[in-house]
């Protein structure tokens, strides 16, 4: 097994038919905490493994499939509500992450549980977009004047919004990385290659290479690893799906170079190989070697990424998970903002937390 037992089952679903009762207990516990229980259910269903599974685990997985079906129906409804709110503006709207996977029928949507909808619009009509969404019930709550200014001046998105009656969550982006990031991304290049969805309105999704790179930025640049394994599974799914096209990996490497995202792509490829057994073309991996960091940095980050992604599934029972995720959190902030902005921001957050305690 690559990593016991959840990551191993994600890489080889056929192992589900060989698990002992104790291994099933551990698997289901890990899957729930990693937000991947429904993914295991879909793998068992699609692989025709249900008849070979013990009754109790099978019941858990069948219930998970019901849950994901309900959640996906809810997200489709939210997307339609957003379409009706924004269609009069005539602006292009790019669905991102989970909503994009679902509406485009892509493999990461299988068993994917998500409550919020992420989208991207051009920056110029952002105020009109926010006004239209407000008129249909989406508002930003719980953000003081500093937070509002921080998001609008430095970040790549508006303050998160929530619907006043349905409590659905919505994140409105105007690019996929903060404006202050060490690796900023030109949104015009993303819109130029976005692909239309076959639904009414102006909804699009990112081009395949851009979709992979956005998923990589989300995991390897932003510093949040609580659902790291689920996010790595998304990346692996996209690589396997789009990689069936003959030129995809060449296009991915070229696009990463164009957008300045070669180093995060290198990290993602290595972690997908190490943890999920991703079979990536040798010429693609050779091309990524030019982004390889020095030996010391590479060794530290390989351990840190692995511990952060696997959590208590890592070697040693996750004894260093807290340290690894704290280091990745600090690294993520360092990559998002220069120190002249980051230090005052973190000091302000720390003072506010102490005042609220």
Distances (CA, A) of 316 to 74, 91, 238, 269: 39, 51, 30, 24
d(CA 248, CA 209): 8
Q: Is residue 338 predicted with pLDDT exceeding 90?
A: no
pLDDT digits (tens, 9 = 90+) for 253-298: 999 999 999 999 999 999 999 988 889 999 999 999 999 999 999 9
315 against 114, higher pLDDT: 114
Q: Is residue 2 predicted with pLDDT exceeding 60?
A: no
Nearest to 46, CA basis, from 102, 114, 111, 128:
111
Q: Is residue 238 predicted with pLDDT exceeding 90?
A: yes
Q: Which of 11-15, 168-172, 195-199, 278-282 has the lowest mean pLDDT?
A: 195-199
Identify whether 324 is part of a domain: yes
Which residues span the domain enclosing 93? Answer: 6-356
Contact 19, 5 (CB under 8 A): yes
Q: Is residue 33 predicted with pLDDT exceeding 80?
A: yes
**pTM score above 0.85:** yes
SS3 annotation, 291-328: HCCCHHHHHHHHHHHHHHHHHHHCHHHHCCHHHHHHHH
124 pLDDT band, cuts 50/70/90, is very high
Over residues 33-60, mean pLDDT? 87
Over residues 157-170, mean pLDDT? 92
Identify whether 260 is part of a domain: yes
d(CA 115, CA 264): 26
351 against 38, higher pLDDT: 38
pLDDT digits (tens, 9 = 90+) for 201-216: 579 999 999 999 999 9
pLDDT of res. 317: 56
pLDDT of res. 11: 81
Q: Is 139 helix (H, G, I), strand (E, B) or coil?
A: strand
d(CA 309, CA 288): 21
pLDDT of res. 200: 57
Mean of the per-residue pLDDT values of the chain: 88
pLDDT > 70: what percent of the chain? 95
pLDDT of res. 51: 87
Total of domains in the chain: 1
pLDDT of res. 82: 94
pLDDT of res. 357: 61
218 pLDDT band, cuts 50/70/90, is very high
For residue 138 the two structure tokens come to: 């989406």
pLDDT of res. 26: 87
Over residues 20-26, mean pLDDT? 87
pLDDT of res. 32: 86
Q: Is residue 198 predicted with pLDDT exceeding 90?
A: no
Identify whether 1 is part of a domain: no
Over residues 119-148, mean pLDDT? 90
Over residues 166-187, mean pLDDT? 92
Torsion (CA) 178, 182, 183, 187 in degrees, nearest 10: 40
pLDDT of res. 10: 85
Over residues 107-121, mean pLDDT? 88
């Amino acid at each position: 097994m690559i990593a016991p037992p959840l990551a191993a089952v994600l890489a080889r679903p056929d192992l589900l038919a060989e698990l002992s009762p104790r291994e099933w207990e551990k698997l289901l516990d890990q899957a729930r905490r990693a937000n991947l229980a429904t993914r295991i259910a879909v793998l068992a269903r699609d692989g025709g493994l249900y008849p070979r599974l013990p009754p109790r685990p099978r019941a858990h997985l069948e219930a998970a499939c019901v849950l994901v079906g309900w959640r996906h129906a809810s997200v489709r409804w939210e997307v339609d509500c957003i379409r009706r709110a924004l269609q009069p503006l005539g602006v292009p709207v790019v669905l991102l992450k989970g909503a994009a996977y679902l509406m485009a029928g892509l493999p990461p949507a299988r068993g994917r549980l998500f409550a919020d909808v992420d989208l991207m619009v051009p920056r110029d009509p952002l105020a009109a977009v926010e006004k239209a969404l407000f008129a249909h019930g989406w508002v930003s709550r719980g953000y003081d004047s500093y937070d509002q200014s921080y998001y609008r001046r430095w970040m790549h998105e508006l303050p998160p919004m929530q619907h006043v009656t349905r409590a659905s969550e919505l994140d409105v982006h105007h690019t996929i990385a903060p404006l202050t990031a060490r690796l900023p991304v030109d949104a015009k290049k993303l819109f130029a290659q976005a692909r239309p969805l076959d639904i009414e309105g102006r909804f699009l999704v990112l081009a395949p290479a851009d979709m992979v790179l956005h998923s990589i930025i989300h995991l390897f640049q932003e510093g949040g690893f609580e659902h790291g394994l689920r996010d790595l599974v998304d990346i692996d799914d996209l690589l396997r799906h789009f990689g069936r096209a003959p030129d995809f990996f060449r296009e991915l490497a070229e696009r990463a170079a164009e957008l300045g995202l070669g180093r995060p792509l290198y990290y993602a490829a290595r972690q997908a190989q190490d943890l999920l057994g991703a079979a990536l073309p040798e010429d693609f991996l050779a091309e990524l070697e030019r982004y390889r960091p020095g030996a010391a940095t590479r060794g530290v980050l390989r351990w840190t990424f692995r511990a952060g992604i696997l959590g208590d599934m890592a070697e040693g029972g996750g004894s260093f998970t807290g340290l690894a995720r704290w280091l990745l959190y600090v690294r993520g902030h360092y990559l998002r903002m220069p120190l002249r902005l980051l230090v005052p921001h973190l000091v302000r957050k720390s003072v506010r937390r102490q005042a609220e305690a």
